Amino acid sequence: MKTKFLRLSAVAIVVVTLLSLGLFFSCEEKDGNNEKTNNPLKNTEWKLIEFVDVANNTTKIPEPSDSICYRLVFEENLNKLNVHSSTNSLSGDYIINTENYSLLIKNLYGTEINELYDGNLFMQGIKNTRYYSVSNNILELYYNNRQNYLKFERR
């Protein structure tokens, strides 16, 4: 009787352990920011190539077109973001949700003075971004209820 009880106990422990491991490995990892481990933006750099107005079906090439202007660098760790506008550099955080393609850029700090040409339009779009799309080395950051987006090319 005692041997039968020990065998059942051992089987129960094995079953519970296997079920726990299966649940542990089947769950997708998320951090406190609801970011899944397959974040397509992590450790990438992007250069703005167009402002797109969906409502009016128009596009605008950003000015100045200097290679150091209008860049985003998504760091590898801690959901940090570096933004380079027409004349300024800022840093901040981002929250990404890969299930619904939402993206929130927050806590931007740095100077925002003397923006040139399209610098203010760029910063407005960055601050108001709510959704994103990534495809074929193109990143689109949507704002204004998806009526506008910033179109970037991967560097």
The one-character DSSP state at 28 is P
Calpha distance 37→29 (Å, rounded) = 6
Buried b or exposed e, range 45-58, using 16+ CB within 10 angstroms: ebbbbbbbeeeeee
**Domain presence at residue 1:** no
Which residues fall within 8 angstroms of residue 47, CB to CB, at 6 or more apart?
Answer: 67, 70, 71, 152, 153, 155
Among 74-83, 103-112, 139-148, top mean pLDDT goes to: 139-148
**Domain presence at residue 138:** yes
* Span 4-50, pLDDT tens digits: 544 544 444 444 343 343 433 333 333 444 444 589 999 999 999 99
Looking at residues 104-128, what average pLDDT do you find? 92
CATH number at residue 125: 2.40.128.270
The larger pLDDT score, comparing residue 63 to residue 18, is at 63
**Domain presence at residue 18:** no
Extract the tokens encoding 80: 């940090």
Calculate the average pLDDT of the chain. 82
- Supply the range of the domain harboring residue 53: 44-154
**Domain presence at residue 21:** no
Q: What is the pTM of this model?
A: 0.74
**Domain presence at residue 91:** yes
**Domain presence at residue 23:** no
